[in-house]
Amino acid sequence: MRLTIFGATGRTGGHLVHRALAAGHQVTAVVRGEHSIQDHPRLRVVPADVLDPGSLTDAIRGADAVLDTIGSRDTGPTTVATDTALSITKAMESAGVRRIILVSNSARIAGPGDDWFTRFVVKPLILRPLLRHSLDDMAAAEQAVRDTALDWTIIRAPQLTDKPGKGSYRTAIERNVTFGIRIARADLATCMLDAAADPQLIRAHINVAS
């Protein structure tokens, strides 16, 4: 596939670029400026302002799928994920590209699939107050993508770790993964690549965990 990756220099995006190239895909990595991505014959690095849709069109045009890993590490109010999603989807519509994979967070959704303690204690009483601003931002980013006519898939991940990937993961469609506490970023990257190639996951919310 021809893939355009946003957040390519981030901790998840770096795994995504590496695994996409290893799988034989053509990759366009969108970066803000200086970067440390190693050269590769199937890698194109495009500096761009992610909040300026006009500067993204060239990086997106011709892609089979766009993968958005951008989020905020801030604990205060933020709209990074939302603003990015709005800009990317607008550029996709201009470029005539339809497939987008958005990474979100599973902490804000307490419901089917969760064990009792996670559903009624961990998520509403611990994680929600602690991560309120970033979770609100992710919720708005999800809505921004759903409001388009694009072929979207939203992947909701739990706590991300930098441990080596296990090479496998669990998923649940439109519900939480039972005891889905964490996942390695490398395995999340693999899940994103698998989702990009699976038309059955279009317009679906996928929860993932190790």
- Ordered alpha helix ranges (H), 46-79: 53-60
pLDDT confidence of residue 117: 85
Mean pLDDT of the chain: 93
pLDDT confidence of residue 12: 95
Residue that the structure tokens 């005891």 belong to: 179
Q: Which of 108-112, 122-126, 197-201 has the highest average model confidence (pLDDT)?
A: 197-201
Q: How does residue 207 score in pLDDT terms, banded at 50, 70 and 90?
A: very high
Q: Give the span between the Cα atoms of 195 and 68, in whole angstroms.
A: 13
Q: What is the mean pLDDT of residues 164-182?
A: 94
Q: What is the pTM of this model?
A: 0.93
pLDDT confidence of residue 126: 87
Q: What is the mean pLDDT of residues 3-16?
A: 95
Q: How many residues does the chain have?
A: 210
pLDDT confidence of residue 72: 76
pLDDT confidence of residue 29: 96
Taking CB atoms within 8 Å and a gap of at least 24, the contacts of 7-11 are: 7/68, 7/69, 7/70, 7/71, 8/35, 8/37, 8/45, 8/69, 9/35, 9/36, 9/37, 10/69, 10/70, 11/160, 11/162, 11/185
Tokens of 113: 């699939």
- At 56-105, the pLDDT tens digits run 999 999 999 999 999 877 778 899 999 999 999 999 999 999 999 999 99
Q: Give the span between the Cα atoms of 61 and 4, in whole angstroms.
A: 9
Q: In this model, does residue 145 exceed pLDDT 90?
A: yes
Q: How does residue 118 score in pLDDT terms, banded at 50, 70 and 90?
A: confident
Q: How does residue 173 score in pLDDT terms, banded at 50, 70 and 90?
A: very high
- At 21-54, the pLDDT tens digits run 999 999 999 998 767 788 899 999 999 999 999 9
